[in-house]
Amino acid sequence: MTQHQLPIYIIDAFTDTLFKGNQAAVVPLEHWLPESTMQSIASENNLSETAFFVKNREGVFEIRWFSPLKEIDFCGHATLASAYVIFNHLGHPFCITFWAKAVGKIEVNALENELIEMRFPNREPVRVLDVPEALKTGLSIEPLEFYQNQQAYFAVYANEDDVKNVVPDLEKLKTLTPLDVVVTAPSKEYDFASRYFWPANGGVEDPVTGSIHAGLAPFWSKRLGKQSLIALQASKRSGVLYCCVEKECVFVSGACVEYMQGTIGLLA
């Protein structure tokens, strides 16, 4: 048997400080690996997501994301981390396009202020009136109202302290699969704050969730009457996201810090 070497990078996304933000593993590929192998690598990494990408003949980077448990339809922080790797290690111009089956094209640009900007589809949530019982009772502090988009239920609170102090009942929230749960409120220092729970799809709490800001930013844009917003994800690691809302899309930007690069040895 021979050993096949794959490059791997671990990037802290949505932060300019090492050991903050959300960790993503990035594995550039020349050809797709079997799905079971990619899932095994993601489970071994045991990070929120591991991103794999292949550059196709049109120059577009086809990207897939895996949590330790399953393949994920849409992941913002691992896309940000992948763009960082392409810009800084693969010698690519500072404007690229990703493609993912559930999202379509994601245009990414490196900005002058060392932020990386991603163009997401606008996934504004809609009000939920028939609230599942597991959602009503699955959060230790009762929200003011509930919303939903393709990805998650949104539990809206009056203030940031409620977001920071709420305790999820993970067994109840797990029954809401395939939807996750984001809790959110206006912020003291930023425009809005959130936390993200996904026990059925990835783990207990995601440190920083870029994808959900395709829904959070439009929601708070209307509430606050602002097109440009700065968001805090108030997890233990925490992260900051810069959002700009347009009718059809949401621009989400953030910084990255490289933690590690190495190789994976696969026997073939």
Residues with catalytic roles: 49
Give the H/E segment covering residue 172: helix 170-174
Q: Is the bond preceding residue 93 a cis peptide, omega within 30 degrees?
A: no
Using CA atoms in the order 102, 103, 105, 109, what is the torsion angle rounded to 10 degrees?
-140
Coil, strand or helix at 136: helix
The sign of the CA dihedral 200, 202, 207, 213 is: negative
Residues 43 and 173: their CA atoms lie apart, in Å, by 22
Q: Closest Cα to residue 79, out of 107, 114, 47, 42?
A: 107
**Start-to-end Cα distance in the chain:** 6
Q: Which two tokens stand for residue 29?
A: 């590929």
Alpha-carbon Rg of the chain, whole angstroms? Answer: 18
